[in-house]
């Protein structure tokens, strides 16, 4: 008697890689760091998303039924939601399957206006001027009051179970980009928020393709398929002239997503162990090749022969980001708007050699920044030139001398105009990459007689202190969250101070022009205003914009389908693991 052969279970597909900076949590409304947002974009669903392969970036429906119905004046956006989409199972739902509805999106957007949430996104959404929402917030700010989620507001309304409408006080031609960022505006369920309260950062429950399985804070995160994830299939519109995207599309189109079973992310802040983890096959790809290994890994910007023999490939693109050092405009040493304070910041910026940063710590994997506008975003002009990239010690010294920053006691260091010590305190992290950058800062400040010291701490701790206005100077990077360049200009928008605007810069002209360009359709007039806004930031120097990085990711031969998107972070669902190529 014969028996049927036993079926062999398919090997589990696991995507493994590392973050260079620790996460802060998983509640979209409370996040502002890029690394946490990578996770939330794969857990939560926004109404819209971006085509994975289309370039330039193209917004497409996600859980919405088609594109929104938009009024001619760009003030009303009405969206239908697909029925039959369910949240991941959670005790908050009492053992029942919980369907996603328009009410969930209304609640999720309203949470950002709730003062209790303390959302770093409030200023971004406040800019959109959603009718009635500011009134709800002001009522909630009164002593003893709570945010009234039940009270109707024209700005955010669930018209029925599957229809949500947004009404704006002013035209917002690019509001679709707000609707497409699931890392920020993904739908959460009210039951979950109310069940977990202050612990909501630890309990993400969404409708996206993955759910959090295990979490060791600042060490490791594991995500698994969401069994309730809807039936969705791999599709995209690759550019006709992009052979690699065409190859990915032909290989993966029509497959049900997500393609992998698990995602394991380690936090490895130091570049050496992160690099070695990739070389030893512990990770499937290296996100952000550390610049220190550029000459070793990609000499002449090509994969090194020893890596090519292992069939390792690379993805190298100009990143829509900008690296900055901000000056706290409320700090008694570097802040302020009087001519002497502006002169100090401009002198510091002129004395800092961005080209040296590019050549040494960044190993020529960056280009000089002229301002906040990021490559590949609307408004960025590669021919635009400002003082921001100038390196001129003589001019820096002349400015300092002119405004009384001189060495009065002969110890070799300049003092403040009132004779007090001039000491810069620069916040940094204990990583090799930051130590290299610190050396550039110290060398350049020493050269003009300004004493600088470095305050070491963890990145999430610095972020918390920066929001509270407690750091004098800190260097970090900003990545674009949409294809529009106005997000970078928001770094100088007064109402965003302490949130996106860590410098706490305030300027009436800047704020008025910033608001004006937000209402305008794309075109020459808007571009002219955007450039003028950059010039205001350069003149007052609340930030020293240094570089735009060129990002290189390295992929193992068994990782299939990876492409870096200009703005979207939700790539986990689109990549596959060829288990037949995994090393034994």
Residue 481, pLDDT score: 85
Sequence-separated (6 or more) residues with CB below 8 Å from residue 305: none
Pairing assessment for the beta strands 59-61 and 262-267 based on DSSP bridges: unpaired
d(CA 212, CA 262): 10
C-beta of residue 126 within 8 angstroms of C-beta of residue 136: no
pLDDT in tens, 262-315: 999 999 999 999 999 999 999 999 999 998 899 999 999 999 999 999 999 999
What pLDDT is attached to residue 124?
85
Q: CB of 166 within 8 A of CB of 156?
A: yes
Angle at 77 between CA 72 and CA 80, to 5 degrees: 130
CB 344 within 8 A of CB 403: yes
pLDDT at 1: 47
Mean pLDDT over 419-423 rounds to 97
Q: Please report the pLDDT score of residue 325 as a whole number.
A: 98
pLDDT range class, residue 33, cuts 50, 70, 90: confident
3-state SS record for 131-154: CCHHHHHHHHCCCCCCCCCCCCCC
Using the 8-state DSSP alphabet, how is residue 420 labeled? Answer: -
| Residue-averaged pLDDT of the chain | 95
Mean pLDDT value across residues 173-199? 94
Rounded Cα distance between 545 and 372, Å, is: 6
Mean pLDDT, range 172-189, rounded to an integer: 92
Instruction: Please give the average per-residue pLDDT across 80-106, as a whole number.
Output: 98
Cα angle for residues 497, 502, 508 (degrees, 5° grid): 40
Whether the pLDDT of residue 339 is over 50: the answer is yes
**Which pTM value belongs to this model?**
0.87
pLDDT for position 8: 66
Domains and CATH numbers, the chain: 42-203 (3.90.76.10), 321-550 (3.10.105.10)
pLDDT (tens digit, 9 = 90+) per residue, 356-414? 999 999 999 999 999 999 999 999 999 999 999 999 999 999 999 999 999 999 999 99
Cα 81 to Cα 83: distance, rounded to the nearest angstrom: 6
State the pLDDT at residue 7.
60
Determine the pLDDT at residue 6: 53
């Amino acid at each position: 008697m014969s028996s049927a052969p036993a079926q062999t279970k398919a090997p589990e597909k696991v995507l493994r890689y590392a973050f260079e900076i620790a996460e802060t949590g998983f509640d979209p409304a409370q996040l502002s760091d890029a690394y946490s947002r990578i996770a939330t974009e794969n857990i939560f669903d926004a109404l819209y998303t971006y085509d994975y392969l289309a370039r330039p970036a193209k917004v497409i429906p996600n859980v919405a039924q088609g594109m929104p119905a938009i009024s001619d004046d760009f003030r009303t956006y009405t969206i239908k939601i697909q029925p039959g989409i369910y949240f991941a199972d959670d005790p908050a739902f009492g053992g029942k399957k919980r369907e996603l509805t328009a009410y969930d999106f209304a609640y999720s957007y309203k949470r950002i206006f709730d003062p209790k949430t303390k959302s770093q996104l409030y200023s971004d959404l406040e800019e959109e001027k959603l009718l009635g929402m500011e009134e709800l917030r002001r009522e909630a700010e009164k002593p003893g009051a709570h945010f009234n989620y039940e009270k109707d507001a024209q700005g955010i309304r669930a018209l029925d179970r599957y229809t949500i409408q947004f009404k704006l006080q002013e035209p917002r031609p690019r509001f679709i980009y707000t609707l497409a960022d699931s890392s920020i505006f993904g739908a959460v369920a009210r039951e979950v928020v109310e069940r977990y309260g202050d612990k909501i950062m630890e309990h993400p429950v969404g409708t996206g393709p993955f759910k959090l399985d295990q979490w060791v804070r600042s060490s490791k995160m594991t995500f698994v398929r969401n069994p309730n994830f809807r039936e969705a299939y791999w599709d995209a519109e690759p550019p006709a002239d992009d052979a690699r995207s065409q190859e990915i599309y032909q290989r993966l189109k029509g497959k049900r997503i997500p393609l992998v079973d698990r995602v394991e992310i380690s936090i490895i802040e130091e570049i050496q162990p992160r690099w070695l983890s990739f070389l030893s096959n512990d990770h499937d790809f290296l996100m952000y090749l550390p610049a220190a290994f550029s000459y070793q890994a990609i000499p002449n910007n090509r994969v090194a022969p020893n890596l090519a023999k292992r069939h390792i490939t690379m993805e190298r693109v100009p990143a829509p980001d900008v690296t900055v050092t901000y000056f706290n405009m409320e700090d008694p040493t570097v802040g302020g708007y009087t001519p002497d304070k502006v002169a100090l910041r401009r002198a510091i910026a002129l004395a800092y050699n961005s080209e040296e940063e590019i050549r040494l710590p960044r190993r020529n994997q960056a280009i000089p920044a002229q301002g906040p506008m990021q490559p590949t975003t609307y408004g960025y002009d590669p021919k635009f030139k400002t003082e921001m990239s100038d390196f001129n010690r003589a001019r820096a010294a002349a400015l300092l001398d002119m405004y009384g920053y001189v060495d009065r006691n002969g110890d070799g260091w300049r003092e403040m105009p009132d004779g007090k010590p001039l000491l810069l305190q620069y916040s940094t992290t204990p990583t090799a990459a930051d130590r290299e950058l610190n050396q550039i800062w110290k060398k350049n400040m020493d050269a003009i007689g300004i004493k600088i010291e470095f305050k070491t701490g963890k990145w999430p701790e610095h972020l918390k202190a920066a929001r509270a206005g407690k750091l004098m100077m800190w260097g970090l990077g900003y990545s674009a969250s949409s294809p529009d360049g106005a997000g970078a200009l928001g770094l100088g928008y007064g109402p965003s101070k302490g949130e996106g605007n860590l410098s706490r810069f305030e300027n009436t002209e800047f704020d008025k022009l910033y608001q004006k360009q937000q209402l305008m359709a794309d075109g020459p007039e808007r571009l002219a205003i955007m450039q003028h806004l950059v010039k205001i930031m350069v003149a007052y120097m609340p930030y020293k914009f240094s570089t735009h990085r060129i990002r290189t990711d390295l992929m193992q031969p068994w990782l299939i389908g990876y492409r870096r998107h200009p703005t979207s972070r939700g790539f986990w669902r689109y990549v596959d693991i060829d288990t037949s190529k995994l090393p034994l």
